[in-house]
Amino acid sequence: MSAYKHDFVEFALASQVLCFGEFTTKAGRLSPYFFNAGLFNDGAKLKRLGEFYAQAILASGLAFDMLFGPAYKGIPLAAATAIGLAGAGHNVPFAFNRKEAKDHGEGGTVVGAKLAGRVLIVDDVISAGTSVRESLDLIRAHGATPAGVVIALDRMERGQGSKSAVQEVRDGLGLPVVPVICLDDLVEFLRSDGQYAKELAAVQDYRAQYGA
């Protein structure tokens, strides 16, 4: 596992973004872990989160020209990632959308830089893929090209069928997905730290039952 992935898991644990216990997912499954990106909720955490996103993007080698954050969670994530990339020597523009079009001032639904070139979508997770599909439509409507999606965590579990939500985006939409970490990274982290033996067993059981 890359050093930044290991550090990200530690960061998520320290921020209580990643928790262990019993949590019911939207699909009604009893999950032994929960990831709540909304708890990256102060300036220091958001700055560091953007740096992790930037590291994952640069490590992937994915070619892109700008960032796009889908409303609402993607807005601070795209801004933080743009700052993280700038800190790493890659200054790129970013934009985000409104849920409702503004009928005064500059108008429209897109705020920030003009959507142009290869656009990388920044979000927290991919659940049903609805946000990604809406973003694709908007990006293409402005004459730009979707470059891929970057997310914090790929849970690697089945959706309605045999594939995960991330696999459905990759295969169904032909779009690269770059996670900062995936469930396999979490398992590797837990395995490397003896204090998480109980959590490791629970996560592995869940992966065996619901993994894609």
The catalytic residue among 102, 142, 163, 198 is: 102
The catalytic residue among 104, 114, 163, 198 is: 104
For the question of residue 90 being annotated catalytic, the response is no
Name residue, tokens 């990274």.
Answer: 185
Please state the φ and ψ torsions of residue 91, each to the nearest 5 degrees.
-85, 115
For the question of residue 104 being annotated catalytic, the response is yes
Q: Which two tokens stand for residue 141?
A: 């409507």
The answer to whether 77 touches 124, Cβ cutoff 8 Å, is yes
Q: What are the angstrom distances between the C-alpha of 112 and each of 46, 101, 103, 106, 148?
A: 19, 14, 16, 11, 19
Task: Please list, in sequence order, all residues whose beta carbon lies within 8 angstroms of the beta carbon of residue 24, skipping any fewer than 6 positions away.
Answer: 30, 31
Residue type, 115: L
Strand order in 118-122's β-sheet? 108-112, 94-102, 66-69, 118-122, 145-154, 177-182
CA–CA gap between residue 203 and residue 212 (Å, rounded): 14
Residues with active-site annotation: 102, 104
